[in-house]
Structure 1
Amino acid sequence: MQRARIFAVSMIVALLWESVFASEQVKFDREKLARGFVNQMEQGEFEKAVQRFDTVMAKALPSDKLQAIWNGLVSQYGSLQRIGDTRTEDLKKYQIVFVTCQFERGKLDAKVVFTEQNEIAGLFFVPTGAYRSPGYVNQKAFEEVEVTVGSGLWVVPGTLSLPKGGKEVPAVVLVHGSGPHDRDETIGPNKPFRDLAHGLASRGIAVLRYEKRTKHHRLKTALLSGGLTVKEETVDDAVAAVNALTKQPRIDPERIFVLGHSLGGNLLPRIGAASDKITGFISLAGSVRPLEDLVLDQVSYLFSLDGTVSAEEQQKIDVIAKQVEKVKSPALSEEVAASELPLGVSARYWLDLRGYDPSKSAKTLEKAFLILQGERDYQVTMVDFDLWKQALGSRDDVTLIAYPRLNHLFMAGEGKSAPSEYITPGNVEKRVITDIAKWIEAQK
């Protein structure tokens, strides 16, 4: 009996390894086929290239049209110099292979879509710097549902990334930083909120992300800018998103969390004070110091990156310093023009934030906190992280984690962080996703 069991287990392990090997072999074969397909186009072998097409593709893109597309690329980017790396993504019954092509005047990715029968069902050429889904995402583990957040004049569209299966799952609402953001918090080629949503959904946690009001209703908010505060900009929609989650049938209403990035992290205590349906809070680079101080520090840092501050740059710093003084002045009133204040933001906005300290306000919330910070972040720095630690570090229900190599978007780099990192393609670090998922699972 013992030998039979050992033999059965051995056979199962062998079959599992055989399945993994077969999957990797198919992946390797398709990458090889995709590289060969690009090489055929480069060699002018268009008749051979189209032989791999499925029926629909063969009708839509015969050899002469394929040749015309390739010739158009060459005329714009120059001749192909080198076929570079490949990577794959799964999309339902298809597998997509990206082949990096180095042309004389730039890089493009050939996006080759394969069927299960290894036929080519699609072909696209996209900038190499375009967003790439991170390797920790399992697209087969979740589905995405379009939802709406809020009501009336201020309703905004959103996306719920929902793990597959029938059981109730915990859920997270993502709250943006400063500025008019889309639901992915897109910055250049990077989409940190999509990384977070798909990474957590791959681990069994639902995530709701939505268009920020100041982006989706840009004209209306511009007309009301003189009366805008963080309540209208951020807090109201975050609370509405929590309410929207409670109406979703597969969401565990006892395990709804709010994750705020930057300004969103700063406002977590205000969001918590406005809703009793939140289980816990996650701050990603949540600022603690007054917003006007952060603005001045950021400008000073950026002007000093090259090692010197010119007279013209110092003049600009001095102008912002005077604007900061006006924000802090007891004489500040709603009659002061926005042009005299930092970022051109109205006096009412600054007055609403006066005296607000999120680290102290968080003490009044008897809810768990996870506070994460990138040590290379120049927008919200370790000074803010230390203020969180001083205020909440002694609490058993508060976890604080700092990451030495990460910047404001929680993407890895080296040396001093600079704005150029934000236009360099990257993804939220896997460890951040893992730490958030583990923390949520522990909140039971």
Structure 2
Amino acid sequence: MTSPDRRTFLGSLASIVLASSFAGCNESTDNAPTAGVTPTESPTETASPTPTDAATAQAFVSDLSDGAYGRARERLTTDAATRLSASTLERLWLGLTAQHGAFREVVGAKRTTETGRPVAIVTARCDEADQSVRCTFDDVGDIDTVRFPAEYSPPAYADESAFTERTVTVEGTGCSLPGTLSVPGGVAGSAGGRADADGRTVPGVVLVHGSGAHGRDETIGPNKPFRDLAWGLATRGVAVLRYEKRTAACDVPPGDRDIDNIVVEDAVRAVDLLGAQDEIDPDRRYVVGHSLGATCTPRIAERTALAGGAMLAANARPITAVVRDQRRYLLSITGELSEAEKEKIAALDEALVRIENGGVAPDERVMGLPGSWWSSLLAYDQVATAKRVETPLAFFQGGRDYQVTEEDDFAQWRSNLGDAANTSTFLYPDLSHLFQSGTEPSLGAEYSFHDNVAESVVTDIAAWVDRSGR
């Protein structure tokens, strides 16, 4: 029998995913998941950490690794425990192991001080990376703050000396979108641009975001998948333009938030801007879309000349079907559903049926998203559009992705377009929705921890661009 705490955690996580739409990409500026109470500066003498503090921190991490979330919570101060449930601890730990692989061991504890309080930093060693767990203690040795520090770092496959970057602006209707152009070949770049160091022009890519108010790096917690892609591709000879999404850079009324206004039209403008740069071969302009951006790639290809479109985690199903299946996935991990969970599913189905029947006004929000967004996606047939366009398309799918799945989405793309001469497909069994490696079960909480887009994805995109441009 699954514990009520676990069901509560998964139910709340499902709500978070739904609120951020099918892309599962909630943009966050919090790069270090924190739990408990953050202490204020103490005017008293600094307390020194003790071996007992270190032992308590190690025991706390061991409790998490054992799945003893309630026992771990007992090591917290009363205030911290009030703010930090066992299910939240579980969310953080499952996210850590999903991102970094199976837990192996605790690797010691470093003792220090912070804001006048003792701190013990424990290293949790997992299959793919180590993760620090930072515990701050009160005067009697209980943990009053828990942090899982996570900061972005560039991928090893990116050589920052192999390219240069300059600021550009995508000028949209009533809104300017700041962007960055990464140019291979060590070109300093002028305002007007010029060819690379050997006098050649190079292929160029425009990155198109998933759902959410994303910046140019598509920042999600400590992860920056678009920076990974831009730097990795520029290292391999492909110029990349990434820009601020309209919903991040501008004030967009809810009723205006449809896929054309917030995705497609700005992407077309970015493609035009890319082609106007002197370094770029205008006949080798590509779009690389992620999630919602991938789903919209065929529509973009209908409206501007592209040498190709790469679609990373593109859903083939209607958006309402995607949302239903995400909720079922998250709740299926718990086994038997509680009555409260069944009521939540029924309420969700009722809301989705209302959306499907056109009963939502353009500016009315359902699950945090305006009716204009829902209706524009439901009216758009991405599979039919992809079959209609002559632009070469490439489909990239992570096998661990529960938001856009191999079974329900990638299989449809393969079934409908797999035999086309201008279609390529790439499947990565161990990668998530962000194309990062990890372990099952994949959950949105793993995005709280840092990783980079897998090198194999970057290499395959660069090779596909090279092949399709010949």
TM-score calculated relative to the size of structure 2: 0.66
Within 1, Cα distance between the matches of 2:148 and 2:121?
15
Structure 1: which amino acid aligns with 2:397? Q
Contact preservation (8 Å) 1:338, 1:344: no
Gap change, CA 1:434 and 1:71, over 3 Å in 2: closer
Matched ranges for 1:33-44 at <5 A: none
Matched ranges for 1:6-25 at <5 A: none
Within 2, Cα distance between the matches of 1:396 and 1:437?
19
Contact preservation (8 Å) 2:131, 2:148: no
Identity %: 40
Match of 1:131 among 152, 163, 166: 152
Within 2, Cα distance between the matches of 1:73 and 1:310?
43
* 1:42-79 deviation digits (Å, cap 9, x = unpaired): 9xxxxxxxxxxxxxxxxxxxxxxxxxxx9864845636
Gap change, CA 1:260 and 1:77, over 3 Å in 2: farther
Matched ranges for 1:200-215 at <5 A: 200-215=233-248
Within 1, Cα distance between the matches of 2:121 and 2:301?
55
* 1:339-375 deviation digits (Å, cap 9, x = unpaired): 4x4x243333333333422122111111111100001
Contact preservation (8 Å) 1:138, 1:202: yes
Contact preservation (8 Å) 2:176, 2:249: no
Gap change, CA 1:324 and 1:161, over 3 Å in 2: same
Deviation at 1:236, TM superposition (A): 1.1
Equivalent position SS for 2:327: helix
Gap change, CA 1:253 and 1:324, over 3 Å in 2: same
Partner of 1:347: 371
Within 1, Cα distance between the matches of 2:412 and 2:132?
47
Structure 2: which amino acid aligns with 1:237? D
* 1:67-109 deviation digits (Å, cap 9, x = unpaired): xxx9864845636788x9xxxxxxxxxxxxxx99887649xxx
Deviation at 1:299, TM superposition (A): 2.0
* 1:287-307 deviation digits (Å, cap 9, x = unpaired): 111112111211222233333
Partner of 1:414: 439
Equivalent position SS for 2:315: coil
Deviation at 1:258, TM superposition (A): 0.1
Partner of 2:299: 270
Partner of 1:394: 419
Within 1, Cα distance between the matches of 2:217 and 2:362?
35
Match of 1:374 among 376, 386, 398: 398
Equivalent position SS for 2:453: coil
Within 2, Cα distance between the matches of 1:337 and 1:246?
35
Contact preservation (8 Å) 1:363, 1:392: yes
Match of 2:341 among 310, 313, 317: 313
- Kindly indicate whether structure 1 or structure 2 has the higher relative contact order, using CA contacts under 8 Å at least 6 residues apart: 2
Gap change, CA 1:103 and 1:252, over 3 Å in 2: same
Gap change, CA 1:308 and 1:422, over 3 Å in 2: farther
* 1:143-181 deviation digits (Å, cap 9, x = unpaired): 111110124521110111111242211111000111111
Deviation at 1:228, TM superposition (A): 2.3
Query: 1:435 and 2:460 equivalent?
Result: yes
State the Cα RMSD in Å. Answer: 2.8
Equivalent position SS for 2:174: helix
Contact preservation (8 Å) 2:132, 2:148: no
Structure 2: which amino acid aligns with 1:185? E
Q: Which has the higher helix share?
A: 1
Gap change, CA 1:133 and 1:361, over 3 Å in 2: same
Partner of 1:425: 450
Structure 1: which amino acid aligns with 2:317? R
Equivalent position SS for 1:394: coil
Within 1, Cα distance between the matches of 2:121 and 2:440?
34
Deviation at 1:226, TM superposition (A): 1.6
Which has the greater radius of gyration? Answer: 1
TM-score calculated relative to the size of structure 1: 0.70
Within 2, Cα distance between the matches of 1:404 and 1:436?
17
Contact preservation (8 Å) 1:74, 1:80: no
Query: 1:363 and 2:387 equivalent?
Result: yes
Contact preservation (8 Å) 2:180, 2:243: yes
Deviation at 1:410, TM superposition (A): 0.3
Query: 1:146 and 2:167 equivalent?
Result: yes
* 1:227-283 deviation digits (Å, cap 9, x = unpaired): 32111110111011101101111011111100111111111111111212x110000
